Structure 1
Amino acid sequence: MSSRRPYPGGGPKCRSTVSVVICAYTEDRWEYILAAVASVRSQSLPAVETLLVVDHNLPLLDRLTKRFRETEGVRVLANAGPRGLSAGRNTGIAASIGEIVAFLDDDAVAERDWLLHLTTGYDDPRVMAVGGRTVPMWASGRRPAWFPEEFDWVVGCTYRGLPPGRVRVRNVLGGNASFRRTAFDVAGGFATGIGRDGDKRPLGCEETELCIRLSGASPDAILLVDDRAVIHHRVPAERERFGYFRTRSYAEGLSKALVARSVGVRRGLESERRYTTRVLPAGVACGLRDALLARPGGAGRAGAIVAGVALAAGGYVVGSFRARRGGVAFRVAEAGGSPESEGAA
Structure 2
Amino acid sequence: MTCLPVSVVIVSRERPDALDRCLTGISQLDYPDLEVVVVACPAGMTRIRSRFDARRIKTVPFDTPNISEARNLGIAAAAGEVIAFIDDDAVPEPLWLRYLMPAFNDAEVMAAGGYVVGRNGISLQWGARSVDHGGHTAPIKVADNAITVLHPTAQRAIKTEGTNMAVRRDVLASFGGFDPAFRFYMDETDLNLRLAREGLATAIVPQARVHHGFAPSIRRRADRTPKDLTEIGASYAVFLRKHCPKNQHDAQIATFISNQGQRLLRLMQSGQLDPLDVQHLLKGLKSGIAQGSERPLTNQPSLPKPSTGFLPYPTKTGTRHILISGRRHQRAALLDKARAVLKTGDIPVVLCLSHTALYHHLRYLPEGIWLQTGGLFGRSDRAAPLVQMTRLQPRAKAERRRMNQSWNLSPAL
User: Structure 1, unaligned stretches of length 5 or more?
Assistant: 1-12, 144-148, 154-158, 196-202, 285-296, 302-311, 340-345
Offset, 1:21 = 0.9
Match in the other structure for 1:110: 92
Kindly state the Cα deviation for residue 83 of structure 1 after the two structures are TM-superposed: 4.2
User: C-alpha deviations, 1:29-63, integer Å up to 9, x for none?
Assistant: 333222211222221223421112113x2x43234
Name the SS of the counterpart of 2:140 in structure 1.
coil
Partner of 2:238: 258
Q: Tell me what 1:67 maps to.
A: 51
Structure 2: how far apart are the matches of 1:334 and 1:61?
Answer: 27
Q: After superposition, what is the alpha-carbon deviation per residue over 1:46-92, rounded to whole angstroms, capped at 9, x for unaligned? A: 3421112113x2x4323423435x5453222213x954211111111
Letter of the 1:64 partner, please give it: I
TM-superposed deviation, 1:119:
0.7
Q: Could you list the per-position Cα deviations for residues 164-196 of structure 1 after superposition, in whole angstroms to 9, with x for gaps in the alignment?
A: 53363533111111110111233111111313x
1:128-161 residue CA offsets vs partner (Å, 9 max, x unmatched) = 11111111225xx999xxxxx79xx9xxxxx995
Distance 1:317 1:52, change over 3 A: closer
Q: Does 1:335 align with 2:323?
A: no
Name the CA distance, whole Å, in 2 between partners of 1:119 and 1:32. 25
Distance change in 2, residues 1:73/1:210 (3 Å): same
Aligned residues of 2:181 and 2:295 also touching (Cα < 8 A): no
Q: Is contact 1:190-1:333 (8 Å) kept?
A: no
Between Structure 1 and Structure 2, the one with more helix by share is 1
**Pairing partner for 1:19 from 7, 11, 14:** 7
Alpha-carbon spacing, 1:336–1:178, altered in 2? closer, same or farther (3 Å) = farther
Q: Does 1:226 align with 2:197?
A: no
Separation in structure 2 between the aligned mates of residue 63 and residue 236 of structure 1, nearest angstrom: 17
1:64-143 to 2 correspondences below 5 Å: 64-68=48-52, 71=54, 73-79=56-62, 83-137=65-119
Match among 7, 18, 23 for residue 32 of structure 1? 18
Contact 2:16/2:47 (8 A) holds in 1:
no
Pairwise CA distance, 1:16: 0.8
Instruction: Give the Cα separation in 1 of the matches to 2:204 and 2:285.
Output: 26
Give the structure-2-normalised TM-score.
Answer: 0.53
1:205 aligns to what?
186
Partner AA of 2:28 in structure 1: S
In structure 1, the residue matched to 2:140 is 163
- Alpha-carbon distance change, 185 to 71 in structure 1, aligned in 2, over 3 angstroms: closer
Describe the SS at the equivalent of 1:137.
coil
2:28 alignment partner, one of 26, 42, 45: 42
Q: Cα RMSD between the aligned structures? A: 4.3
Q: Which residue type is aligned with residue 39 of structure 1?
A: G
Counterpart residue identity of residue 65, structure 1: R
Q: Report the CA distance shift for 1:48/1:327 in structure 2 as closer, same or farther (over 3 A).
A: closer
Larger Rg: 2
Relative to structure 1, is the Cα distance of residues 38 and 46 closer, same or farther in structure 2, using a 3 angstrom cutoff?
A: farther
In 2, Cα distance between equivalents of 1:338 and 1:260:
32
2: CA distance, partners of 1:124 / 1:21 = 22
Give structure 2 stretches of 5+ with no counterpart: 130-135, 143-147, 151-156, 271-280, 308-413
Aligned counterpart, 2:347 = none
Range 251-260 or range 122-131, more displaced: 251-260
Look up the SS of the partner of 1:22 in the other structure: strand
CA displacement, residues 267-295 of structure 1 (integer Å, 9 cap, x when unaligned): 9x9xxx9xx9xxx9xxx9xxxxxxxxxxx
Q: Note if contact 1:215-1:221 (Cα within 8 Å) is conserved in structure 2.
A: yes
Structure 2 counterpart of 1:240: 223
**Residues 171 and 208, structure 1, Cα contact 8 Å, conserved in 2:** yes
- What percent of counterpart residues are identical? 25
Instruction: Determine helix, strand or coil for the equivalent of 1:240.
Output: coil
- The alpha-carbon distance between structure 1 residues 331 and 113, as it changes in their structure 2 partners (threshold 3 A), is same
Using CA pairs under 8 Å that are at least 6 residues apart, name the structure with larger relative contact order, 1 or 2. Answer: 1
Gap change, CA 1:256 and 1:174, over 3 Å in 2: same
* Deviation at residue 18 of structure 1 after TM alignment: 0.6
